[in-house]
Amino acid sequence: MQPRRQPPPAPRSGPGNPRPTAPLLALLLLLAPVVAPAGSRGADDPGQLQDAEVPRRLLQQAARAALHFFNFRAGSPSALRVLAEVQEGRAWINPKEGCKVDVVFSTERYKPEEGEGHLGKCSARVFFKNQKPRPAINVTCTRLIEKKKRQQEDYLLYKQMKQLKNPLETVSIPDNHGHIDPSLRPIWDLAFLGSSYVMWEMTTQVSHYYLAQLTSVRQWKTNDDTIDFDYTVLLHELSTQEIIPCRIHLVWYPGKPLKVKYHCQELQTPEEASGTEEGSAVPTELSNF
């Protein structure tokens, strides 16, 4: 596994972008200028302070976390979504428990077709627990593509993977020029799908991850019909600019729950450093897919 690399921190601007060394303090500082008076309560959440003008960065953080979870639970490389635009939201903060965010946002297909605009709309409630990863999420999205079309695209990708004469053992996607060879696109899409679970589990109030590169792949021959492979990815954490290597084991078959196991290098606690998922994610929920 490649060692953890830490490039020079990106320039920071303004007091609204504090260092993430103390997640709760950072969130309090972020919300402090716009928190409503103590008498302003959320109607469905008594006892917690309601934020009248939620900073866009917090809404985007919640929307991305909800999409990571949605992509994982959908379990479909053909149905992958990315954030298009945050439309509205509100938040509550409880110093003892954490931050709860309601957000509405539009999405677009991860691999948009020519001429496609924003497709699909999602609403989510995201609960960031104090100083803990894996936010609890309830998300509802409109359909992006018809179920039949999605199943056809997934099965085509599945056949491409199964027809590989020699299972892959090593690869780098994208290459050093940022290019993804079309023949390797199915591998990248499946890696993105599995990494969605890892990024959801690692997300906190102030830590946001995205998939930077797939650095190695080893596909296993199986006695059943599943696609089974190990791969290593580099996750980029936006606020600290850290690059974190994670080894992920993925088992996939179209229409069945995705199975993911992973281990990320040098995270702070064992709870953050490894995880297992086989299609269940209580207390979270996926609707309308």
More confident site: 40 or 151: 151
pLDDT value at position 25? 41
- What rounded mean pLDDT belongs to the chain? 76
Let me know if residue 8 belongs to a domain: no
> Residues 183-198: what's their mean pLDDT?
91
In a domain, 222, yes or no: yes
Can you read off the two tokens belonging to residue 162? 């199964």
Q: Is residue 26 part of a domain?
A: no
What's the burial of 285, exposed, middle or buried (CB within 10 Å: 0-12/13-18/19+)? middle
The number of domains in the chain is 1
Structural domain harbouring 88? 56-264
Residue pair 238/260 in contact (Cβ under 8 Å)? The answer is: no
The pair of three-digit structure tokens given for residue 52, joined into one six-digit string: 């009248």
- The model's confidence at residue 144, banded by pLDDT at 50, 70 and 90, is low
Mean pLDDT of 266-270: 49
Asked if 43 and 79 touch (Cβ cutoff 8 Å), the reply is no
Give the per-residue pLDDT at 170: 63
Share of the chain above pLDDT 90, in %: 40
**What is the CATH number for 208?**
3.10.450.10
For residue 260, give every residue at least 6 positions away whose Cβ sits within 8 Å of its Cβ, in sequence order, or none.
Answer: 72, 194, 197, 198, 248, 249, 250, 275, 276, 277, 278
Q: Is the dihedral of CA 260, 263, 267, 268 positive or negative?
A: positive
75-93 residue pLDDT tens: 999 889 999 999 999 999 8
How deeply is 43 buried, as exposed, middle or buried, from its count of CB atoms within 10 A (0-12, 13-18, 19+)? exposed
Which residues face 260 on adjacent strands? Answer: 250, 277
72 Ramachandran zone, left/alpha/beta (phi>0; psi -120 to 50): alpha
Most confident of 52-61, 157-166, 230-239: 230-239
Would residue 240 count as lying in a domain?
yes
> Does residue 191 form part of some domain?
yes
pLDDT at 181: 86
In a domain, 14, yes or no: no
Q: Report pLDDT for 266.
A: 67
Q: Residue range 40-68: average pLDDT? A: 70
pLDDT at 43 over 70: no
Q: State the Cα–Cα distance between residues 56 and 70, nearest whole angstrom.
A: 21
Q: Give the pLDDT score at 198.
A: 96
Question: Is residue 26's pLDDT more than 60?
Answer: no
Kindly indicate the confidence band of residue 53, based on its pLDDT and cuts at 50, 70 and 90.
low
Q: Report if residue 269 sits inside a domain.
A: no
Q: What is the pLDDT of residue 281?
A: 35
**What is the model's pLDDT at position 52?**
52
User: What does the pLDDT look like over 97-118, one tens digit per residue?
Assistant: 999 999 999 998 887 665 555 6
pLDDT of residue 12: 43
Q: Is 215 exposed, middle or buried (0-12, 13-18, 19+ CB in 10 A)?
A: middle
**Which residue, 91, 23, 21, is CA-closest to 56?**
91
> Residues 236-256: what's their mean pLDDT?
93
Which residues fall within 8 angstroms of residue 131, CB to CB, at 6 or more apart? 23, 24, 204
Q: Is residue 205 part of a domain?
A: yes
